[in-house]
Amino acid sequence: MCENKTEHQYDKGEIIIHEGSEIKDFTYLKSGLVKLSRKVTDGKDQIISFARPFDFVSLLSIFSSSTYNYTVTALDETIICAIDLEKLKAVALKNGEFTLGLMTRISEATDKIILNNLDIRRKNLKGRIAHVILYFANYIYKNNKFELPISRREIAEYIGMTTENVIRTMSEFRKDRILKFDGKEIEIVNEKLLETISEHG
Amino acid sequence: MCENKTEHQYDKGEIIIHEGSEIKDFTYLKSGLVKLSRKVTDGKDQIISFARPFDFVSLLSIFSSSTYNYTVTALDETIICAIDLEKLKAVALKNGEFTLGLMTRISEATDKIILNNLDIRRKNLKGRIAHVILYFANYIYKNNKFELPISRREIAEYIGMTTENVIRTMSEFRKDRILKFDGKEIEIVNEKLLETISEHG
DNA sequence: ATCACATTGTGATAATTATCATATCTTTGC
DNA sequence: GCAAAGATATGATAATTATCACAATGTGAT
């Protein structure tokens, strides 16, 4: 089956999958970083989640729908592996072990999305921003100093708050010496406090 | 495999699965209605989703974790079918078709949870309450008149707002002749308007 | 290089939502 | 039946968040 896989490279900002397009392949990330988002009323976007290397991009809807109900956009130079969905299904039909493994991995990934969404929902503005900063530091970059791959507007689209309040709160974190940053270059100075804010607002 | 299934009946309010308990069975709803919830900080609960007959109760974490990270509670008299997870896995390993079907169903269910959560997140207080009322009317009871299976507090735990504001907003909807209700007996009077509120706040 | 446009940044004000207080009404356990 | 606890209800006030307005900076296209 892996002989049937094709690789595609995308530049930062390029759209990899368009919302509404037909699902032909099962895809996963070989390198880079992507965001999953969807269009909501009045032309705004809502960011659903981010995916790292070896995360599946084909998550939602891959087996339950014929079209994507979300857009996948590269946030960095990204290489995607695509496997023809029909061929994958043919293998899955014959190989229960493979399918069970696949199901486990998809289950893990959707679990994370759901729990992350629930966590964000129960937090207030400050807690949500602390959550996002910690998410990129701990989960994506594994470093307290990193280059934020998204704009303040995209943070807002992810946490469901306004861009102005994201900027304002980050400025406040800077004033309080919790963060240092220059544009997208971010450093967590007081991780303990940031974690407290993430947990208790 | 279906020979290995056992049925269990639960009364309204009974806990079916305790958060943190070991996952031994794959379970689905034969009849009734349940809520999935989890404990969050300061002893509060957060409702994740509801499940109807033939929905899988074993959703999150079933293949990716050894313990449940959510509680399942009966909201009505409920019958649950349980299939030993090891036996189900054994069948899955041998039967790719079965596993693929199972994966499709789990994928559909988690999709719905994610999309519902995203929808709720982008709406304001009024929109969220309209959303929940319409959810029970259209999706659960398929009737504009129904008995709400949860308290105002539980609505609050589901939509992430305070109980007082849920009550206040519902009273407002009653004053504006959008809803009629007496306790938990609810009737949607102006569905069009309720849908507009759900969509545009 | 420069123009157009998006992003970052900040302040003032309005709108939304939470908190606290208190009352009535239901349900539950004994 | 009655006490206790929880649910529904409503008002006043505080806290949070959004909106609008505007400036400065950065970025991409030509």
The pLDDT assigned to B1 comes to 61
A1: pLDDT strictly greater than 70: no
A75 touches A12 (CB < 8 A): yes
Of A65, A107, A115, the CB nearest to B106: A107
The pLDDT assigned to A43 comes to 82
Candidates A9, A34, A52; CA nearest to A142 is A52
A200: pLDDT strictly greater than 80: yes
Summarize chain A as % helix, strand, coil (round to 5). 45, 25, 30
- Helices B125-134 and B152-159 meet at what angle, rounded to 10? 110
B2: pLDDT strictly greater than 80: no
Rounded mean pLDDT of A55-74? 86
Q: CB A117 to CB B122 under 8 A?
A: no
Per residue in A77-127, pLDDT (tens digit) is 999 999 999 999 999 999 989 988 988 888 888 889 999 999 999 999 999
Q: Give the whole-angstrom CA distance, residue A25 versus residue A86.
A: 8
pTM score of the predicted model? 0.94
Per residue in B46-78, pLDDT (tens digit) is 999 999 998 887 776 788 889 999 999 999 999
Chain B residues whose beta carbon lies within 8 Å of the beta carbon of residue A199: 41
Establish whether the CB of B125 is closer than 7 Å to any nucleic acid atom in strand C: yes
Chain A residues whose beta carbon lies within 8 Å of the beta carbon of residue B103: 63, 92, 99, 102-103, 106
Q: Give the whole-angstrom CA distance, residue B54 versus residue B109.
A: 11
Per residue in A158-191, pLDDT (tens digit) is 999 999 999 999 999 999 999 999 989 999 999 9
Q: Give the whole-angstrom CA distance, residue A182 versus residue A189.
A: 13
Measured between CA atoms, the residue of chain A closest to residue B37 is A118
Torsion angle defined by CA atoms of residues B196, A69, A125 and A119, in that order, rounded to the nearest 10 degrees: 110
Interatomic distance B155 CA / D7 C1' (Å): 13
Per residue in A44-53, pLDDT (tens digit) is 999 999 999 9
A117 touches A60 (CB < 8 A): no
The pLDDT assigned to A63 comes to 82
The pLDDT assigned to B41 comes to 83
Per residue in A15-45, pLDDT (tens digit) is 999 999 999 999 999 999 999 999 998 789 9
The pLDDT assigned to A32 comes to 96
Rounded mean pLDDT of B23-52? 93
**Which tokens go with B92?**
């899955």
A196: pLDDT strictly greater than 90: yes
